[in-house]
C-alpha cells in the first residue's frame, strides 16, 4: 500500500501562480495529479504552501560544520536547516589545507551520493588575499588547475560549485576546467575589476558568490565586478538577505537588475545557525556570535551568517516587498535549476519530490515536508 497525503485549503504557489484554496496530493515521496477526496485529508486553510527551499551556499548549522570532516556533523547541520525549510542544500567548505579539503570532500561526496546533500561547494582556497573575509590567509593559494582537479576528484563526482578569484594565476584556466566538467565556476572573494570579471564570465563563470560582499565596491569610474556580474544574463547572483550583509537598498538594486530568475537567496550560514550567541569554529578560524551576527574573533570580520532560509523568505516578502511567487523563484526554483536538480525539486508540480514548506498567514514556518515525510509536522495538524 502506498503512503498518501492530501493537503487542501491553503494558498499553493505553483509555477503558474498562486492557487487559492489549492489542493496538493502526495503519494509516497512524490506529488501526483489527483482530485479525489478521502479520509485523512489535512485542511491547511489560512496557510501558504511553497516549494522546499534550496540553499546552494551553506557552511553549517546546529552547532555543526560541513568542514568538520565527519558525517555526523554534516548530518546535524543538514537536519538543522531542514527544520527551517531547506529541503535541498549544497554543503560549502571553507579555506583549508588542500589535503584536508580533499578528505572533507570525500565525506560530503558520499553523503551526496546517499541523497542527504545535493553536492559540494568549495569556497576557497583559491581566493584573493585582499578580499578573503573570514578565510585563513596563510592557506590561500592560486587556482592551479591541477589542484582544482584534485578537489573535484575527491568529491566523488559530487562537486557542484567552486568559488575563486579569477585574477589569480590559473584563474581563467580553472574556470574553463570547471565549466568543461559541468561544475559551476563562481566569481567571489575577488579583487578583480570590471574587465577581469567579464573575462571570467566569457570563460564560463555563471555565479556571483554573495554579490557585493568580499569584492570591490561599485564605483562610477571603476564599476568593478558588481556591474559586470549584474549586467550579464548568463550570471546568477547570490544574495544574503539577513539585514546584516546587505543594506536593503543594495539588495533592491541587485534584485531589480537581475530579477528573480537570476537571483538565488542563500544563507552562507555557519555552525551557529539555529543556535544561541557564543563562540563557534569556522574551519580553522574561531567566530564569536553576538546578537545573531557572526564575526571572527581575530579581527572582527563578518564570518558568514546565522541565517536560515525561512527567515530569508519572510524578510523578502514582508520587508523587501518581493511578491510571494518571485520569492519562491529566488529561494527554490532558480537555485534548483542552477544545481541541475529542477527535474525533481524546486517547484510544486506532479512527478516531483514532495519537498514543501507550510507557512502561516504571517509567513512564519508552520511545517516542512521532505520526500513525502514530515520533518516538521504542520501546526494545523495538532
Burial class of residue 155 in the structure, from the number of CB atoms within 10 Å of its CB (0-12 exposed, 13-18 middle, 19+ buried): buried
- Transcribe 318-332 into DSSP letters: HTS---HHHHHIIII
Burial class of residue 164 in the structure, from the number of CB atoms within 10 Å of its CB (0-12 exposed, 13-18 middle, 19+ buried): buried
Query: Which one of 268, 310, 353, 355 is the catalytic residue?
Result: 268
Contacts of residue 300, defined as CB under 8 A and 6 or more positions apart, other chains included, come to none
49 in a known ligand binding site: no
134 in a known ligand binding site: yes
- What region does 363 belong to: left with phi over 0, alpha with psi -120 to 50, or beta? left
Cell numbers placing 3: 503512503
Block residue for cell numbers 538543522: 80
- Measure the CA–CA gap between 355 and 344, rounded to whole angstroms: 9
31 in a known ligand binding site: no
Look at strands 42-43 and 30-32 and give their pairing.
unpaired
Cell numbers placing 308: 536560515
245 in a known ligand binding site: yes
Q: Are 336 and 330 in contact (CB under 8 A)?
A: no
Can you give the length of the chain in residues? 382
302 in a known ligand binding site: yes
Strand order in the sheet with 293-296: 278-282, 285-290, 293-296
Report CA 38 to chain centroid distance, whole Å.
Answer: 37
Q: Which whole-number Å values give the CA distances from 361 to 24, 177, 292, 304, 314, in the listed order?
A: 18, 47, 25, 30, 11
168 in a known ligand binding site: no
247 in a known ligand binding site: no
- Measure the CA–CA gap between 304 and 104, rounded to whole angstroms: 19
Catalytic, 320? Answer: no
For the chain, the distance separating the N- and C-terminal CA atoms, rounded to the nearest angstrom, is 25
Which DSSP symbol is given to 206? -
Report H helices in 114-247: 145-154, 171-180, 194-203, 224-231
For the chain, the farthest-separated pair of C-alpha atoms sits apart, in whole angstroms, at: 66
Query: What is the radius of gyration, based on Cα positions, of the chain?
Result: 20
Residues at the binding site for Zn(2+) are 123, 189, 210
- The catalytic residues are 268
Residues at the binding site for substrate are 134, 213-214, 221, 245, 302-304
Amino acid at each position: 500500500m502506498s503512503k498518501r497525503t492530501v493537503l487542501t485549503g491553503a494558498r499553493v504557489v505553483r509555477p503558474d501562480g498562486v492557487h487559492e484554496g489549492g489542493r496538493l496530493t502526495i503519494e509516497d515521496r512524490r506529488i501526483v495529479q489527483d482530485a479525489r477526496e478521502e479520509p485523512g485529508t489535512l485542511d491547511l486553510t489560512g496557510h501558504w504552501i511553497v516549494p522546499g527551499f534550496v540553499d546552494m551556499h551553506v557552511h553549517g548549522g546546529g552547532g555543526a560544520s560541513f568542514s568538520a570532516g565527519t558525517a555526523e556533523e554534516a548530518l546535524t547541520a543538514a537536519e538543522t536547516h531542514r527544520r527551517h525549510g531547506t529541503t535541498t542544500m549544497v554543503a560549502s567548505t571553507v579555506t583549508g589545507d588542500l589535503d584536508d579539503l580533499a578528505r572533507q570532500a570525500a565525506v560530503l561526496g558520499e553523503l551526496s551520493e546517499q541523497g542527504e546533500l545535493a553536492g559540494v561547494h568549495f569556497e576557497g582556497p583559491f581566493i584573493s588575499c585582499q578580499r578573503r573575509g573570514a578565510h585563513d590567509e596563510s592557506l590561500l593559494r592560486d587556482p592551479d588547475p591541477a589542484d582544482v582537479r584534485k578537489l573535484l576528484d575527491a568529491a566523488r563526482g559530487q562537486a557542484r560549485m567552486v568559488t575563486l578569484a579569477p585574477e589569480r594565476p590559473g584563474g581563467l584556466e580553472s574556470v574553463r576546467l570547471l565549466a568543461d566538467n559541468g561544475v559551476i565556476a563562481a566569481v567571489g572573494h575577488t579583487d578583480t575589476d570590471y574587465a577581469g570579471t567579464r573575462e571570467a564570465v566569457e570563460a564560463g563563470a555563471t555565479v556571483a558568490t554573495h554579490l557585493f560582499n568580499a569584492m570591490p565596491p561599485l564605483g562610477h569610474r571603476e564599476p568593478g565586478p558588481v556591474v559586470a556580474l549584474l549586467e550579464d544574463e548568463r550570471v546568477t547572483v547570490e544574495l544574503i538577505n539577513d539585514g546584516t550583509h546587505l543594506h536593503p537598498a543594495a539588495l533592491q538594486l541587485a534584485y531589480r537588475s537581475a530579477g528573480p530568475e537570476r537571483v538565488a537567496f542563500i544563507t552562507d550560514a555557519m555552525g551557529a545557525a539555529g543556535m544561541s550567541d557564543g563562540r563557534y569554529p569556522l574551519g580553522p578560524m574561531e567566530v564569536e556570535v553576538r546578537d545573531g551576527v557572526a564575526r571572527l574573533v581575530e579581527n572582527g570580520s563578518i564570518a558568514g551568517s546565522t541565517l536560515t532560509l525561512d527567515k530569508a523568505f519572510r524578510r523578502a516578502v514582508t520587508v523587501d516587498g518581493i511578491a510571494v511567487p518571485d520569492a519562491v523563484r529566488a529561494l527554490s526554483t532558480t537555485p534548483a535549476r542552477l544545481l541541475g536538480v529542477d527535474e525533481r525539486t524546486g517547484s510544486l508540480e506532479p512527478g516531483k519530490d514532495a519537498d514543501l514548506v507550510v507557512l502561516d498567514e504571517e509567513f512564519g514556518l508552520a511545517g516542512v515536508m521532505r520526500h513525502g515525510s514530515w520533518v516538521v509536522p504542520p501546526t494545523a495538524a495538532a
